[in-house]
Chain A
Amino acid sequence: MRPNPVVRALQYIGLFVVVAVFTFPTFWMVLGVFKRNVEHKARPPVLFPQDPFGAAADTIRFAFESSPVPLGHVFLNSVVVASATAIVTLAVGVTAAYSFARFRTGGTSLPFFILTLRMAPPIAVGLPFFLVFRQLGLLDSQLGLVVAYTTFNLPLVIWLLRSFFRELDPSMEEAALVDGASRWQALRYIALPLALPAIASTGLLAFIFSWNEFFFATLLTSSEGRTIPALLPLFLPRSISAGQPLGASFFIAAISAVPMIILVLFLQRYLIKGLSLGAAKE
């Protein structure tokens, strides 16, 4: 059955509108780095800036000069905290996920209970963290954020890897066990190599979710420990004093966003699987 050409045309228009709506703000963000203030305020909106590279140079210089914590330092904090969280959650999560999948340790309720902790309101653990970290001197530290980010990433890592191990055929591991290997060896030498792509993707998800986290970063850091999201409120257009480059707001957004967009393009649909806690079939 050939579809009606008018219907087809309308469908393509619909597709174009959908893509335009959901990509425009990101395009606008990148464009904003290359505009001067007159162009930011111009009517109609400017799509082709006059002096893009001169404007970007001024914008970037201002962003670096006006940041209360050196931007390089903030960027490094984000990298360190997100990487450390991914590594810690994987190190602890892989064996737990394997055990839940192969032995049904704790039935189905224990893994599900752990999973629910991912979704709990962060303020319920955030206040205790604030109070305890104040005593321990962990406020404004990378370690403090790694602890906070582990609370919601570890449950996700365990849950996603559990479902991966469940789909993995156990016969090779069983053959190894019959040949006298221990469970640990079966995990280390047989299941783990097969799981490596899933482990890497899951680690990337934990990295992204930590990189993007705002609530704990705002609550638990104040200067030296700040990550990029916690710096964003200082670069709101209304916080930038008159005459200073408004593009700084877009630049700081881009520093946070562009690396994640690249990672997500690698992950493709695994992102949806992660965000839906495994409900999306790949």
Chain B
Amino acid sequence: MERVTGARTIESRRVPWLMVLPALLLVLAINIIPLVYSTVLAFFQWNLTQAQVAPRFVGLDNFIRLLTRDPQFLTAAVNTAILVVATVVIQTVLGVAVALLLDQKLRFTGVATTLLLVPLALAPAVVGLLFSSLLSGSLGPINYWLEAIGLPAPSWLGDAHWALPSIVLVDTWQWTPFMILLTLAGLRSLSQEPVEAALVDGASSWQRFRYVKLPMLLPVLTVAVLLRAIDSFKTFDLVFLLTFGGPGTSSTTLSFYGYKVGLQAFDIGRASAIAFLMVQVFIVFVVIFYSRAKDQL
């Protein structure tokens, strides 16, 4: 191997990068450059409805306006935060609970896990469309059944207090199966010895879960929680189909507000500033992801 020719060495050093090159160029062209362009636009005033006015550099104006003079933006930010926390907490708790149930060696578990894949196959927009009739007072069965068992039947999508919880509910319907199946896969890959040792030592089923299984599941749950949080942070489709951000701005999220500002008001500068701020939050998520979850993938 001492006498490898120079040509061969250069060739073999080049090959790895040649194999990556097309992907890198594509990523540069369609991911990185647009991101940079979007960042630049955040510092300009540019409204497409005023075609004769050229884009003008305005420094931090767009950000100052958003943070000090735009109550709708602040509402969207708060709504998004509530949405992220609520969906992640509810889906994690439900997901782990159901996964523990499915891990009990019951019959039909195989069929159940297959059926749980179905919500994940649907486009979020389809889920939004379905639930807009399921939750409707006149068309949907849900309120009929709630009343039948004596529970209050709110006007889910038409009531400012219920609009955001409705989005949490529908997102939970679609994504809890993801948490269930991921946790179940985690439970099944756990080593059985510590669990059996705890059983021999007389640990109750709660103790076996809390002190043996949960710590071992933590890495996979961390990935799941972070992925769900990042996804939930971007929620757009459900808002568009279920409530269109309303009533008022009661269910407007950051993605949806950015869309309204950019594509309905055509205020490109301000919409880009919203996108910029979202990317900053996203980077925080990615840093956490990198330090906590990367080794799981």
A26 interface residue, CB < 8 Å from B?
A: yes
Assess whether B259 is in contact with A123, with CB atoms less than 8 Å apart. yes
Chain B positions near chain A (C-beta within 8 angstroms): 12, 15-17, 19-20, 22-24, 26-27, 30-31, 33-35, 37-38, 41, 98, 101-102, 104, 106, 108-109, 111-112, 114-134, 136, 138-139, 141, 144, 148, 173, 176-178, 181-182, 185-186, 189, 220, 223-224, 227, 230-231, 233-234, 236-237, 240-241, 255, 258-259, 262-263, 268, 271-272, 274-276, 278-279, 282, 285-286, 289-290, 293-294, 296-297
The 8 Å CB contact of B268, one of A14, A43, A131, A246, is: A131
A257–B255 touching, CB < 8 Å: no
Question: Which of B16, B24, B33 gathers the greatest number of chain A CB atoms within 10 Å?
Answer: B16
Nearest CB of chain A from residue B229's CB, rounded to whole Å: 10
- Contact across chains for B178 and A275 when beta carbons are under 8 A apart: yes
Contact of B27 among A22, A114, A271, A279 (CB under 8 A): A114
- Looking at the complex, which of A53-61, A65-73, A99-107 is the stretch in contact with chain B? A99-107
A contact residues around B132 at 8 Å (CB): 236-238
Question: Given that A219-B263, A276-B223 are known contacts, is A93 also in contact with B23, CB under 8 Å in the complex?
Answer: yes
A132 contacts across to B, CB distance below 8 A: 34, 37
The contact string, 1 if C-beta is below 8 Å from chain B, for chain A 151-195, is 100110011000100000000000000000011100100000000
Chain B residue with Cβ nearest A99: B19
Interface residues on A, range: 35 or more
Pairwise interchain contact A19-B126, C-beta atoms closer than 8 A:
no
A136 CB, nearest partner CB in chain B, Å: 13
CA distance A14 to B189 in the complex (A): 23
Contact of A264 with B120 in the complex, beta carbons under 8 Å = yes
B41–A127 CB distance below 8 A = yes
Q: B35 is contacted by which of A26, A112, A125, A148 (Cβ under 8 Å)?
A: A125
In the bound complex, residues from chain A placing their C-beta under 8 Å from that of B272 are 127
Asked if A272 meets B185 with Cβ closer than 8 Å, knowing A14-B101, A99-B19, A278-B297, the reply is: yes
**Pairs across A and B, CB under 8 Å, 20 listed:** A18-B101, A19-B115, A23-B115, A26-B119, A40-B133, A121-B234, A123-B278, A127-B275, A147-B30, A148-B30, A154-B26, A212-B123, A212-B126, A214-B125, A232-B123, A237-B136, A253-B130, A264-B120, A268-B117, A281-B186
